[in-house]
Amino acid sequence: MPGPFPPLDQPLWDRAGERLNRRREPRLAVGSVLPIQLRLLPPGQPPGSWLTADILDISHGGLALLVTASEAPPLDCPLLLDVSSHPGFGVVRLPGRLRWCRGADGLGVLQLFGVQLDQPLPAVPPLVQSRK
């Protein structure tokens, strides 16, 4: 099974100086869209509170989210996304897992979450733009 880092004999940058995307699923930046809600479901503990999350990018298999959280939750923690603000998903709730988490540099209690959906989306849905 390949590790989390690209092999040392493969380039990290293309000829134009752009970082190569090695993700299994291409991520699509979304711009300014309505936020969603996220609830952590740690095993053996009561469910966490609903947190507001801004979608940074999306793919068939997951999302990158910006979340206000004072501490990082455990990796691989089950979670539930409430995507009711975006009817294009065709559902209200989506189960997933926290795959990675890191602090948003210089932004206080904001965390970046990488969420893997339990079931990949058949298509990336249209998202409702915010009025900002």
- Whether the pLDDT of residue 51 is over 70: the answer is yes
Query: Of 89, 91, 79, 99, which Cα lies nearest the Cα of 37?
Result: 79
For the segment 4-17, the average pLDDT, to the nearest whole number, is: 52
Look-up of token digits 């190569």: 20
With CA atoms as reference, report the closest residue to 63 among 100, 107, 22, 109: 100
Residue 59: count other Cβ atoms within 10 Å of its Cβ.
Answer: 18
Query: SS3 string of 10-73?
Result: CCCECCCCCECCCCCCCCEECCCECCEEEEECCCCCCCCCEEEEEEEEECCCEEEEEEECCCCC
Q: Considering the domain 28-117 in this protein, what is its CATH number?
A: 2.40.10.220
Q: Which pTM was predicted?
A: 0.77
| Mean pLDDT for the stretch of residues 40-60 | 93
Of the two residues 94 and 72, the one the predictor is more confident about is 94
